Amino acid sequence: MEKSFTRADYDLLPEGYPVQLIEGCLIREPAPTYGHQRTLSLLYSALVRLLDPGLVLPAPADVVLGEHDVYQPDIVVLEKAPPRTEHNVGIPLLAIEVLSPSTSRRDREVKTGHLLAAGVAEVWLIDPEQEVVEVHTTSGVREARGAASIASQVVPGFVVVPDDLLR
């Protein structure tokens, strides 16, 4: 794929412009569904009960991975807060994506690998269609379905039960 846009191009966009830079392409997606946003709200609420709310950010928050990749995961958990005026939040400890039909392939096949290669410790993929929660690390993938719980190894106490989250 030819790289047509760079981070410099991305930085020229107005603040809040609804795109991500993925492999040199500016990607705009439609507004998420109610179910997507509900799932995000539940995850965000669980995380801020455990952590400083300033370290848990919902999208849009720029995660700059390189010249051709600026991602905005649905939720990021930071190790430390960046300066207040910074757009780039740095490499998060944990990134969460709630999959949708229009983003699933890109989130799974492109973004997850790039995020892990950049140093993100855990990438969580929440798949409402398959009713599964996957936790991706450089060591492999763990998953949970139904009433089985799955816990973060980087955020102590962050535990998700797919049935509770997705139904």
Does the predicted TM-score (pTM) go above 0.85?
A: yes
> What domains does the chain contain, in order, with CATH numbers?
32-166 (3.90.1570.10)
**Confidence check: pLDDT of 1 > 70:** no
Report yes or no: 118 and 93 within 8 Å, Cβ to Cβ. no
Q: How far apart are CA 119 and CA 154, in angstroms?
A: 13
Q: How far apart are CA 44 and CA 56, in angstroms?
A: 7
CA atoms within 13 A on the CB side of 11: 11
Report yes or no: 115 and 63 within 8 Å, Cβ to Cβ. yes
What's the token pair of residue 26? 């500016």
**Confidence check: pLDDT of 121 > 80:** yes
**DSSP SS3 for 36:** helix
Determine which of 27-41, 63-77, 111-125 has the lowest per-residue pLDDT on average.
27-41
